[in-house]
Amino acid sequence: MRSLIALLVGVFMGGMLTVVALNSLRKGTAYPNGLMAVMTAQMGQLDEQVKAKSCNAEALAPNLATLAALGNDIEPAFLPTGDDARFSSLAGDYRAAVGLAIAAAPANCDTASTALNAISVTCKACHQEFKN
């Protein structure tokens, strides 16, 4: 009887620990989640500036600089993936789009919107391929 109870408790505990482990693996780590959260917030602030028609190079520069800095953390946060070369290529596309936006120094909302759309396209391409 004791053996049966011990076996049932062991099976129950094993099942519970498996569920906890799978949930932890599914959630990922704070580093990639935090990176994506900050990138999303920066893009959101830029989008709000465009919608409010308050677009000038000085106002957009801090957010674009933050996006550029965050672009350097993409591979460290997410690699390895199933296709590291493709992931790095898409991350490079993102960095190039942000670099072009900074170099263009959007002075009006039309050019800012075009730059933000180019950045968004690179984000969407990576998410379509790698995000579950």
Q: Helical H runs in 28-83?
A: 30-51, 57-71, 74-78
Q: Among candidates 90, 111, 110, which has minimal Cα distance to 102? A: 111
The pTM assigned to this predicted structure is: 0.77
Instruction: Tell whether the model's pLDDT for residue 2 goes beyond 90.
Output: no
> What is the per-residue pLDDT across 54-108, written as a single tens digit (0 to 9) for each?
888 899 999 999 999 999 999 999 988 889 999 999 999 999 999 999 998 888 9
pLDDT at 44 over 90: yes
Q: Can the peptide bond before residue 80 be classed as cis, meaning omega within 30 degrees of 0?
A: yes
* Domains annotated on the chain, with CATH: 29-130 (1.20.120.10)
Distance CA(62)–CA(85), nearest Å, equals: 30
Rounded Cα distance between 58 and 3, Å, is 73
pLDDT higher than threshold 80 for residue 41: yes
Q: How far is CA 38 from CA 14, 94, 102, in A?
A: 37, 15, 18
